[in-house]
Amino acid sequence: MVSPPPAEAHGNWEVTADEDSVKSLFKDKDGKLLGFALNGKATEERAALLKQLPPVLA
């Protein structure tokens, strides 16, 4: 499950993984979430992460 960051976004991916999941969060220099990729049990966090993303059409 992926919600990619905007193409022009500057930041870094923070990746955590265990035997059941992989969670990748793309954050800007201020720590604001701009995108994510989830696999396995991490997909259960989708709704909470979507609420943290900036609006697409502002």
Contact 27, 40 (CB under 8 A): no
The confidence score (pLDDT) of residue 58 equals 52
**Mean residue pLDDT across the chain:** 95
Which residues of the chain are under the pLDDT cut of 50? none
How far is the CA of 15 from the CAs of 7, 26, 47, 55, in angstroms? Answer: 19, 9, 18, 23
pLDDT tens, position by position, 9-25: 999 999 999 999 999 99
Structural fold of domain 2-45: Enolase-like; domain 1 (3.30.390)
The confidence score (pLDDT) of residue 56 equals 75
**Domain residues of the chain, as ranges?**
2-45
pTM of structure = 0.91
